[in-house]
Structure 1
């Protein structure tokens, strides 16, 4: 059970207590405790079928929990229909009314509640999403990103305590999606209400959210601030799903003060004890992890210039890819057949080419340790999964 709380104000918190969802013999969401603090931007992140959308739908009232309760602030809404909950949902499809102009799409919720004077509220909301000049256009005359902002404005004008976003940027191309990530974060900061965002896109979650719950198989694997999840993964799934990790099978050699000295591929690596979530006893197994961008690579003839105290691995460059901002190397080494290294393209060394013998080195403080009983490939997306 994982909980994040804000003790100062629970008026708009979203609290799930022991919430689960089963369909016959299939468990979509295992019992889970989760508190989303009022006014935060919270992301539920995971691959298809992990339970994130089912969790969101239980908050919205579109699915009934099999067990547990859903509270919005101090109100138990577990058995309330969606229209009686102080939430609004924005879907990937936007669901705008094609026959109404943008002004009337945004005004729809107010008019439905019998509010006659809507002009001021609608204009303010259109200004918030920077669409004031588009008020009299029809949805088909707007770009995908503009339609998305109309959907957000239409949801926010009802002053919900919580805005639920279900893969809202999935239909946009990459450049527009990145623009909308910043736009949604700006809107959330300005209105100050709780946003709960479901996505399978790691970059999207880490760009926008204050806190991220990484879900896998109907459970929360780890929850925390994006930087903490990335720098300090607690499971192989989180290490592989959030970006790329090099994971090395190693054995504990000695424990020296706050450091753990490990044997791997005939060499030794140092791991700070505070960055190891695995049990450590001499002779025990540990998975050692390091992110590709934390590593430096030099030709083997320059190894004497590497500062003392760095972790080192020797190997042969098997492949390299120039991707503009960086060059990505794949290095074949005794500790790992496909060791990945990302090097910024500042001063490119022409000697670093496939076939070159190299030494990889990094600060031991950037190393993390995981329980070796886990699947080393958990969370690694295959080409087939990405295409699905």
Structure 2
């Protein structure tokens, strides 16, 4: 008599687990190349979370390790209270939406969305599919084929197909990259609306700063396989802690200055023969008198005035002088580039409310801003880190 042996059942993630994602000491290397340095990260359940960074920073590899499409070199992945590190992709309570959508061209919208349910052997799919199509506002197009849809509509079908199985986590890998600018902005709002309605944890990988800031509750800015800074979009933008974040997330003017003293809650800085004030609470650098710091200010926080009007600048403002070397009218604002002794290409974004026609290239100007809008960074960093090449 031959004894039959039964292979042990493949582990599966518990359906009762929550949708929080916890990465502990997770890393990925290929030979001598390290794509993701060991990192710890917790993504709260029900949040819209963005991994933001330039190409090659490790964000997609991190996403693929959550999905089970890439095996980590070290560390663990937990979804809710379950360790899923050893589970294959189809056993994890996640679904992924890719940039190319990966729709079935021979199936219509209805059948593309129903595919996951039918694969699980569910016979009655009508109500679930119809509800999902209504969620993504495609209830009027159930019999269209993918090639009959716009890019934005295809994107919605891909999201509906991924959500219909009610994953605990939806992973989005550059999902809007194939869309034009106007449609991409529209879909940013749509994805945020969908996430809010379904309440599922969304983890979104993108290189687009505006996209991340529009949709995400929390952003992790990645650089060279590490998380440079983690926080709410407004906090990252207003209070960057490194030159990389200051330059990559939007645009910053960084001025090398020296700490000369303090006054109340402010640090006093010297810049050549000028003086600046920096709120101590907004300085990521621990600076003593005589230390160098990088004083930063965003272009839209700055006012620009003709040098002849310098006397009208209110007292207490941070001020520097310079000469306009470029001016670009872009509709809602005019973007100036000003050469000053302390910052050769100082950017200023001025809203087109009451334009001063004297402000043309070659004009001497005074730039001024509220000291509260100044942030401080460690001056030992690369001042150009994170700048996006044209």
In structure 2, what is the equivalent of residue 20 of structure 1?
A: 27
Q: State the 1:234 CA deviation.
A: 0.2
In structure 2, what is the equivalent of residue 141 of structure 1?
A: 148
Distance 1:153 1:223 in 2: 29
Distance 1:57 1:186 in 2: 25
Rg larger in structure: 2
Distance 2:31 2:339 in 1: 47
Q: What's the secondary structure of 1:304's corresponding residue?
A: helix
Q: Tell me which of 361, 370, 373 is aligned to 1:366.
A: 373
1:47 aligns with 2:54: yes
Q: State the 1:305 CA deviation.
A: 1.1
In structure 2, what is the equivalent of residue 287 of structure 1?
A: 294
Q: Tell me which of 338, 341, 344 is aligned to 1:334.
A: 341
Q: What's the secondary structure of 1:271's corresponding residue?
A: strand
Q: State the 1:45 CA deviation.
A: 0.1
For the 8 Å contact 2:18–2:168, the answer to whether it is kept is no
Q: State the 1:12 CA deviation.
A: 1.8
In structure 2, what is the equivalent of residue 123 of structure 1?
A: 130
Q: State the 1:306 CA deviation.
A: 1.0
In structure 1, what is the equivalent of residue 41 of structure 2?
A: 34
Q: Tell me which of 67, 73, 91 is aligned to 2:80.
A: 73
In structure 2, what is the equivalent of residue 4 of structure 1?
A: none
Q: State the 1:254 CA deviation.
A: 1.2
In structure 1, what is the equivalent of residue 382 of structure 2?
A: 375
Q: Tell me which of 163, 172, 182 is aligned to 1:156.
A: 163
For the 8 Å contact 2:323–2:339, the answer to whether it is kept is yes
Distance 1:187 1:347 in 2: 40
Distance 2:326 2:388 in 1: 20
TM-score by length of 1: 0.96
1:240 aligns with 2:241: no
In structure 1, what is the equivalent of residue 180 of structure 2?
A: 173
In structure 1, what is the equivalent of residue 6 of structure 2?
A: none
Distance 2:273 2:25 in 1: 47
Q: State the 1:265 CA deviation.
A: 2.6
In the alignment, structure 2 segments of 5+ residues that lack a partner are 1-16
Q: State the 1:95 CA deviation.
A: 0.3
In structure 2, what is the equivalent of residue 99 of structure 1?
A: 106
For the 8 Å contact 2:35–2:225, the answer to whether it is kept is yes
Q: What's the secondary structure of 1:132's corresponding residue?
A: coil
1:213 aligns with 2:220: yes
Q: State the 1:282 CA deviation.
A: 1.1
- CA-to-aligned-CA distance 1:117-173 (integer Å, 9 cap, x gap): 001100000000000011000000000000000000000000000000000000000
In structure 2, what is the equivalent of residue 6 of structure 1?
A: none
In structure 2, what is the equivalent of residue 324 of structure 1?
A: 331
Distance 1:25 1:348 in 2: 55
Distance 1:39 1:265 in 2: 50
Distance 1:252 1:334 in 2: 18
TM-score by length of 2: 0.95
Distance 2:314 2:111 in 1: 65
Q: State the 1:11 CA deviation.
A: 2.4
Q: State the 1:252 CA deviation.
A: 0.8
- CA-to-aligned-CA distance 1:280-316 (integer Å, 9 cap, x gap): 1111100010000000001111111111100000111
In structure 2, what is the equivalent of residue 303 of structure 1?
A: 310
In structure 1, what is the equivalent of residue 350 of structure 2?
A: 343
RMSD: 0.9
Question: Once structures 1 and 2 are overlaid, which stretch shifts more, 108-117 or 262-271?
Answer: 262-271
